[in-house]
Amino acid sequence: MISYRRIKTGEAIEFCALPPLLALLKQRWARMGPDAVFVLPELIFKVKDLKDPTCNTEAWEGFKAWKDMRAPHSDVVRGASNGAREMTAFLKLCGIKSEGITHKSFRKHNISFWASIGIKLKTRMRMAGHSKEEAHYRYDVPAEFEIMRAKEITWRYYQAIMKDEDFFVPTTPYDMYESLMAHWAKFPELLQTTMRQELNGTLQSLHDALRQAFTSQKALIEEQTGILLAENARLRAQLQAIQANCEKLVKHFGL
C-alpha cells in the first residue's frame, strides 16, 4: 500500500502499487537515505537546487503537520510541469509519438478498465487519487467493444420482449451469486441424468473402463519393478566384488 499527499491539492492518497513501481520506490528510497523528504525530488526541486546534497532534507513549512500541508503554488506548477515532461519523454522512448496519447491516457485506460470489470466507484477513486466523482467520471471512457456489447444485449432484450420470454442480466454481485446457486442446485440431477444416458442405466461400461485402466497400470508397475530388481541385483554384485577386493587388500598389507 502506498500512502502520500498530492502535491496539487494536499489530499491524502492511498493505493496498492504494482510490483515494478514498488521495487522502484524501495530502490530509490534506499539510495537517497532516511533523511530524504521526497522520493522523486527531481519533480519538486529546480536543477540547480538538486546539486545541493541537502536540498531534499528540508520540507515545506507545515509539511510535517500532515493535515495542514500545502505546497507553494510555484512548486505545484513546477512539479506538474516536470512530471508531464518526464512522462512525455518516457512515451517517446517507448516509441509512442501520437498526439492523441498523453501521460493522462494511462489514467483513462486504467480507470475505464476498473469500471468495466466492476470495481466499485470508491475503490477506483482511491486508486486514481480522485476526491470528487465528477472529476473521476471524466476518465471513465467506454471502449468500442463495450459499446458493441451494449448493443448486442439491448437487441437480445428486445427479442425476448417480442417473444414474451424472460431476460435476465445480473446487475449486482448478489444477482450473479443467486444465479450460480440456482444452477448449482440442479447439478446433482443433471449428473444423474448424464450418467443414465452415458452408461445406459448400468455401471458395467464404467467397470470395464476402470478394470482396463487398472490392468494397464498394474502391467506398467510390474515392468518397472522388474527393471528395479535387476538393477538392484547388479549393484549388489558390484558391491560384493568391491568388498572382496577390499578384503584381499587388507590381507595383502596385513592391516
Sign of CA dihedral 2, 132, 80, 75: negative
- pLDDT of residue 21 exceeding 70: yes
| CA–CA dist 125, 133 (Å, integer) | 8
What average pLDDT is seen over the chain? Answer: 84
- pLDDT of residue 78 exceeding 90: no
Same domain? For 44 and 117 the reply is no
Task: Name the domain boundary from 48, 69, 96.
Answer: 96
* Burial class (CB within 10 angstroms; exposed 0-12, middle 13-18, buried 19+) of 73: exposed
User: Total domain count for the chain?
Assistant: 2
- pLDDT of residue 213 exceeding 50: yes
Task: Name the domain boundary from 96, 124, 159.
Answer: 96
Range of the domain at 28: 2-96
Same domain? For 87 and 117 the reply is no
Please state whether beta strands 2-5 and 12-15 pair in parallel, antiparallel, or not at all (unpaired): antiparallel
Same domain? For 68 and 111 the reply is no
| CA–CA dist 121, 31 (Å, integer) | 37
Yes or no: say if 13 and 6 are a contact pair by the CB < 8 Å rule: yes
The predicted pLDDT at position 64 comes to 52
The predicted pLDDT at position 162 comes to 94
Give me the percent of the chain exceeding a pLDDT of 90.
Answer: 20
